[in-house]
Structure 1
Amino acid sequence: MPYRALTALRGLHPTLAALVPALCLMAGCAHTPPSTHTDALSIPVTRHGDFGHYTLALTWQPGFCTDQHGPSCQPDQPHAPLIGLHGLWASRPSDLVREGLPVTQWWIKGCDIYQHDDTPPQLSPALSKRLSGTVAHTRSSLVTHEYTKHVQCFGMNAERFFTVASTLRDRFAAGPVGRELDHDAGRDISKADVIGSFERTYGTLPERGLQFRCNTDAQGQPILAQLWFTLDPMGLGRFPAASGFLPSPDVQDNCPARFRVPTWPVTAQAG
């Protein structure tokens, strides 16, 4: 249901509000058809499935868990692997685009625009353990945050969603570019070198297909925190091949031309 319509609906008497969905069905109101993605790593979407792209956000854990004040993750944060999973974010559904909702509001609110539901996802013990090893241990559960903000309003199965997202992370981390990043830990590198290595391995990227996110350390230096990949929802199974990418409509890269790939502080190394 459109964003403005949802806003208006919240002010209706409960009895009248309950009739609106049924009346829409009878009158032939516009309806978003379920997604019909058939890719090997597709995620069935039953609501708002007409979004244009996914952003796969992978973390460089030492940088993601560091800010200008020092370490920002919990003491039990694993120090391996170095490449972690932040999320897999659907872009604005087309109904919100038509309604003129600013993309920045979608980035901030996500699924809360449609409905607020902070119920944690129900995941198998095996998947929960897998995510505990690759998703940063933030002060509140990042897995729950990702599910409630980026997943629940699309009707996606939580187990399937996080399994696919984890598989995408694993593919990149195990590949040549991921291993090269591991090798570069503690060094200064350039965006051009990373993109060049990626394109030599996987093909030419579309514009802003790969963007970098940096944090600032206590010395005021830029450090790698995340890599954001703009992916075709119908081609997740092709990742990390460039054929599975789409151009990003938004500039979200905040790293300078050169930055450090940080390591974990020696005093904080886990035993």
Structure 2
Amino acid sequence: MFFASHRFFLAITGLALLSGCVAQPAQQNAPNIPHALPVQSTELSVPKHGDFGHYTFALTWQPGFCSGPNGKSCTDSQPLTPLIGLHGLWASRPSDLIQAKLPVTTWWQKGCSVYNASTTAATPQLDTNLSAILASVMPHTRTPLWVHEYQKHASCFGMQATQFFTTAATLRNRFVALPSAQALINSAGHEIEKTTLNQLIERDTGTLPERAVQFQCNKTAQGQSILSQIWFTLKIDSLSKFPRAEAFIKNAHEQDNCPTRFLIPQWSAQ
């Protein structure tokens, strides 16, 4: 097992810029190159319940997200590249639910269904190109993740599906173009200190508010903590500024479940 040293920290902080964005599901060894969005946009209209406090922008580390103590959680169609994927863009609890004293944990668990538990939102229609982009960067879960993400995190806000997913994919593209993202990719297979990873990200973004970046870890069958997600807390009116520090806001909730040191996993042998 590799343990991060000062030399390793200096080496990965000097890595060159790279954007890693594409892999079609049928091309599991596709190169880590940008996938063209028809429009790079962070314009996101929120017609209903727009008085929430922040977004959580969630990226996946695909080998960790698809792994756990019970084995593989993604389907056989899961692309092996890119390593940094897209989970979603989640609005925080709207003010009417805060006033109704709905626990924040209930909002996290149920999302939009709290407004109408008896009805499931319709599956949104996306064009072929955007569908291919989402298939290339979102984890291939047993049920389509993009459908779940829209129904749980966007439908009750009246967000237009194409605009919602274009915004989320644009934010992902901006992160993977950072040197810290390339450092993360090159550290696959090694352990890293959480403070080191935070420092790498802040070298690109500038100093961030408290808990503006939090990490999620899964555990292997052997009990080892492995990176599965990176969560960014963003201002609702500053998505266009991401990944600069002025796009971020302090998160009042401690949601980071990673230990001080964890593995950046590689794909296990198939």
Q: TM-score, normalised by structure 1?
A: 0.83
Return the match for 1:219 from 222, 228, 232: 222
The RMSD of aligned alpha carbons is 0.9
| Partner in structure 2 of residue 37 of structure 1 | none
Return the match for 1:162 from 161, 165, 168: 165
| Partner in structure 2 of residue 123 of structure 1 | 126
Whichever residue aligns with residue 184 of structure 1, its letter is S
Q: Deviations over 1:191-221 (max 9, x none)?
A: 1001111112211010000000000012210
Q: Which structure 2 residue ranges, 5 or more long, are not aligned?
A: 1-40
Q: Deviations over 1:101-155 (max 9, x none)?
A: 1000101111001123232111111000000000000010100000100000000
Following superposition, the deviation at residue 242 of structure 1 comes to 1.1
**Which is helix-richer, 1 or 2?**
1
Distance in 2 separating the partners of 1:253 and 1:230: 12
Following superposition, the deviation at residue 175 of structure 1 comes to 1.0
Q: TM-score, normalised by structure 2?
A: 0.83
Following superposition, the deviation at residue 41 of structure 1 comes to 1.5
Q: Contact 1:63–1:223 (CA<8 Å) still a contact in 2?
A: yes
SS at match of 1:163: helix
Aligned length: 228
Following superposition, the deviation at residue 42 of structure 1 comes to 2.6
Distance in 1 separating the partners of 2:258 and 2:201: 17
Q: Percent identity?
A: 54
Distance in 2 separating the partners of 1:235 and 1:42: 10
Using CA pairs under 8 Å that are at least 6 residues apart, name the structure with larger relative contact order, 1 or 2.
2
Deviating above 4 A after TM superposition, structure 1's stretches of 4 or more consecutive aligned residues are: none
> Looking at CA atoms only, which structure, 1 or 2, has the larger radius of gyration?
1
Distance in 1 separating the partners of 2:252 and 2:43: 22
Return the match for 1:204 from 207, 215, 220: 207
Q: Which structure 1 residue ranges, 5 or more long, are not aligned?
A: 1-39
Q: Deviations over 1:210-245 (max 9, x none)?
A: 000000012210000000000011000111111100
Distance in 1 separating the partners of 2:65 and 2:120: 26
Q: Is 1:181 aligned with 2:187?
A: no
Distance in 2 separating the partners of 1:220 and 1:117: 36
The residue correspondences of 1:86-165 to structure 2 (distance < 5 A) are 86-115=87-116, 116-165=119-168
